[in-house]
Amino acid sequence: MLLSDLLYKVPLLATAGSMNAEVTHLTMDSRQVAPGSLFIAVRGTVVDGHSFIQKATSQGATAILCEEMPAEMPADVTLVQVANAPRAMGFVAANFYGHPSKKIKLVGVTGTNGKTSVATLLFRLFRGLGYRCGLLSTVQNQIDETVLPATHTTPDAISANELLLKMAQAGCTHVFMEVSSHAVVQERIAGLHFAGGIFTNITHDHLDFHGTFDNYIKAKKGFFDQLPRSAFALTNADDKRGAVMLQNTLARKESYSLQTLSASTAGTFKGKVLADGLFGLEMTIDDRQVWFKLIGRFNAYNLLAVYGTAVLLGEDEEEILTQLSAVTPPSGRFEQVISDDKIVGIVDYAHTPDALQNVLETIQNLRQNNEEGYFPQIITVVGCGGNRDATKRPIMAQIATKLSDRVILTSDNPRFEDPMAILEQMQAGVSPVNARKTRTIEDRREAIRAAVALAKPYDIVLVAGKGHETYQDIQGTKHNFDDRVELREAFQNR
């Protein structure tokens, strides 16, 4: 494609060289540059892409898109200067791939917790309704039946457009994608055309990246600020920040609520939980009574958001609820592994204080005396990720110890941090009274085995934080590790 066509609608500050250069490949990574490439120099959190301009030219780049022109202008390469390279990259990527987001109905989901759950439920619901669909999620990307690995919750703009094009070519009519706060700030969604946006909730996370909670709110709101007038913006009316998200959006404002408040504050889509247990949820949604296979009150919010979205996309209410009641949750979300002697293992991706609290409260409410009158104990195994928000560490340990009978603090992707240093920060949140029921075992496998050794039949072992993940990330190496496999093996070796 001609460089001038690629730059359609991109505000330019300056250019040097031919705008008729033919670009065959886009990349923000100098290591991927080859003749025909447009290299986009992006300032990252570790290095500045501008320092690789020379390298990109020596590897044969056709053109460079940057925020600052290099001191030495390379010959035979076109230079394009813009104010915001990541944002320009979004529009360039959309131009390069022919605006695939306009060829499908693209719905984005943002919020601290529930993005994967809502996006996956939507994907499964719409397939059940007979559509070909796409999914961009933390667990995996999917082009209808074809599963592709996901490296991020939200892919970069180039990968996203490439995937969306493949989805459109495969006949997908609807695509459901997670929109992380990192993605909004890093402009990974710039240039995408959304048919709708959904807000789940916002609680403590990612303060390492955003600095303050206010900035984190602004990042999420940024998604709704970008929605076009033709889109819908569906928010959670029961979340304190639900209304804030829609303050400046051009999109049609819609909401959902499980609370019976006054008409002015209650949502457009209303639901009520009638019963919840290990069997699932019984709810009324818009006056229809339905059973769902998902466990936990928090999932009632996810289901209501999914229902509202499907209605806003024009589907029949009755048909939606019939299909949705058969939909199963995504992998690693409240996934149960039961031992032969009836110990209940639960693997859940709770890696924020709010998620951990929700899951533990759900488990507490599900507990009942068994036939012999035994009241099950809750044994929790939990850790906090390295090179991520450190301020959530003591809070998560405090929640785990408050809501469990025994707790084992352990590692969860220490990445480049010292695992014991992370664990010490977690221990700081454990009150002296709760310290007695808490142990620290750095090795996650040993921690799971110790939890299983403590358990009696009917007890519940919650292994939190990794869910679907199949690795433990230590010093940049991803070692095979799967909480569900580990639980099963621990049960067998008991």
Ligand X SMILES: Nc1ncnc2c1ncn2[C@@H]1O[C@H](COP(=O)(O)OP(=O)(O)OP(=O)(O)O)[C@@H](O)[C@H]1O
Ligand Y SMILES: CC(=O)N[C@H]1[C@@H](OP(=O)(O)OP(=O)(O)OC[C@H]2O[C@@H](n3ccc(=O)[nH]c3=O)[C@H](O)[C@@H]2O)O[C@H](CO)[C@@H](O)[C@@H]1O[C@H](C)C(=O)N[C@@H](C)C(=O)N[C@H](CCC(=O)O)C(=O)O
Ligand Z SMILES: N[C@H](CCC[C@H](N)C(=O)O)C(=O)O
Binding residues, as ranges, are 30, 111-117, 153-154, 180, 186, 188, 388, 412-415, 465, 469
Stretch that binds ligand X, among 61-69, 143-151, 158-166, 348-356 (CB under 6 A): 348-356
Pick from 101, 302, 380, 404: which binds ligand X (CB under 6 A)? 302
Q: Is residue 348 part of the contact set for ligand X (CB under 6 A)?
A: yes
Angstrom distances, CA of residue 122 to CA of 113, 220, 236, 329? 16, 20, 16, 11
Q: Is residue 349 part of the contact set for ligand X (CB under 6 A)?
A: yes
Strand order from edge to edge, sheet including 133-136 = 146-149, 140-143, 133-136, 174-178, 105-110, 196-199, 232-236, 252-257, 269-277, 280-285, 288-292
The answer for residues whose C-beta is within 8 angstroms of residue 196's C-beta and 6 or more apart is 105, 107, 108, 227, 231, 232, 233, 234, 251, 309, 312, 313
Mask of contacts with ligand Y, 40-69, x by CB under 6 A?
--x-xxxx-x--x-----------------
| Strand duo 280-285 + 477-480: pairing | unpaired
Q: Is residue 200 part of the contact set for ligand Y (CB under 6 A)?
A: no
Q: Give the containing element (helix H, strand E) for 3.
A: helix 3-6
Smallest distance, ligand Y to C-beta of residue 93, A = 12
Partner in contact with 154, chosen from ligand Z, ligand X, ligand Y, none, beta carbon below 5 to 8 Å by kind: ligand Y
In one-letter notation, the amino acid at residue 26 is L
Q: Closest-CB residue for ligand Y?
A: 44
Pick from 182, 218, 297, 402: which binds ligand Y (CB under 6 A)? 182
Is the Cα torsion angle 218, 219, 221, 222 positive or negative in sign? Answer: positive
Pick from 350, 381, 403, 461: which binds ligand X (CB under 6 A)? 350
Q: Give the containing element (helix H, strand E) for 392.
A: helix 392-403
Q: Is residue 445 part of the contact set for ligand Y (CB under 6 A)?
A: no
Binding-site annotation, residues for meso-2,6-diaminopimelate: 388, 412-415, 465, 469
Stretch that binds ligand Z, among 157-165, 425-433, 465-473, 484-492 (CB under 6 A): 465-473
Least Cα distance to 113 among 91, 138, 93, 131 occurs for 138
Q: Is residue 154 part of the contact set for ligand Y (CB under 6 A)?
A: yes
Question: What CA–CA distance (Å, rounded) separates 122 from 312?
Answer: 12
Output the six-digit token pair for 344.
């209940």
Mask of contacts with ligand Z, 392-421, x by CB under 6 A?
--------------------xx--------
Binding-site annotation, residues for ATP: 111-117
Partner in contact with 44, chosen from Mg ion, ligand Y, ligand Z, none, beta carbon below 5 to 8 Å by kind: ligand Y
Tokens 């020596």, located at residue = 58
Question: What CA–CA distance (Å, rounded) separates 126 from 353?
Answer: 31
Pick from 174, 270, 333, 388: which binds ligand X (CB under 6 A)? 333
Stretch that binds ligand X, among 79-87, 343-351, 379-387, 473-481 (CB under 6 A): 343-351
Pick from 25, 87, 152, 297: which binds ligand Y (CB under 6 A)? 152
Question: What CA–CA distance (Å, rounded) separates 456 from 311?
Answer: 46
Mask of contacts with ligand X, 116-145, x by CB under 6 A?
xx--------------------x-------
Least Cα distance to 33 among 76, 71, 69, 62 occurs for 62
Output the six-digit token pair for 96.
């390069």
Partner in contact with 350, chosen from ligand Y, ligand Z, ligand X, none, beta carbon below 5 to 8 Å by kind: ligand X
Output the six-digit token pair for 280.
């699932």
Partner in contact with 116, chosen from ligand Y, ligand Z, Mg ion, none, beta carbon below 5 to 8 Å by kind: Mg ion
Q: Is residue 34 part of the contact set for ligand Y (CB under 6 A)?
A: no
Nearer CB in complex with Mg ion: 26/109:
109
Pick from 178, 238, 389, 473: which binds ligand X (CB under 6 A)? 178
DSSP 144-188: TTEEEE-SSSS--HHHHHHHHHHHHHTT--EEEEE--HHHHHTTT
Partner in contact with 64, chosen from ligand Z, ligand Y, Mg ion, none, beta carbon below 5 to 8 Å by kind: none
Smallest distance, Mg ion to C-beta of residue 133, A = 17
Angstrom distances, CA of residue 299 to CA of 10, 121, 122, 141, 328? 41, 11, 13, 22, 12
Backbone phi, psi, residue 30, to 5°: -55, -25
Least Cα distance to 107 among 235, 201, 197 occurs for 197
Q: DSSP H helical segments within 31-111, as ranges?
A: 53-58, 85-96
| Strand duo 174-178 + 105-110: pairing | parallel
Question: What CA–CA distance (Å, rounded) separates 26 from 276?
Answer: 49
Nearer CB in complex with ligand Z: 27/200:
200
Pick from 180, 236, 257, 410: which binds ligand Y (CB under 6 A)? 180
Partner in contact with 152, chosen from ligand Z, ligand Y, ligand X, none, beta carbon below 5 to 8 Å by kind: ligand Y
Q: Is residue 358 part of the contact set for ligand X (CB under 6 A)?
A: yes
Nearer CB in complex with ligand Z: 65/346:
346
Binding positions for ligand Z, 167-226, rule CB under 6 A? none
- Residues in the site for ligand X, rule: CB under 6 A? 111, 113-117, 138, 153, 178, 200-201, 298, 301-302, 333, 348-350, 354-355, 358-359, 467
- Residues in the site for ligand Z, rule: CB under 6 A? 153, 351, 385, 388, 412-413, 465-466, 469
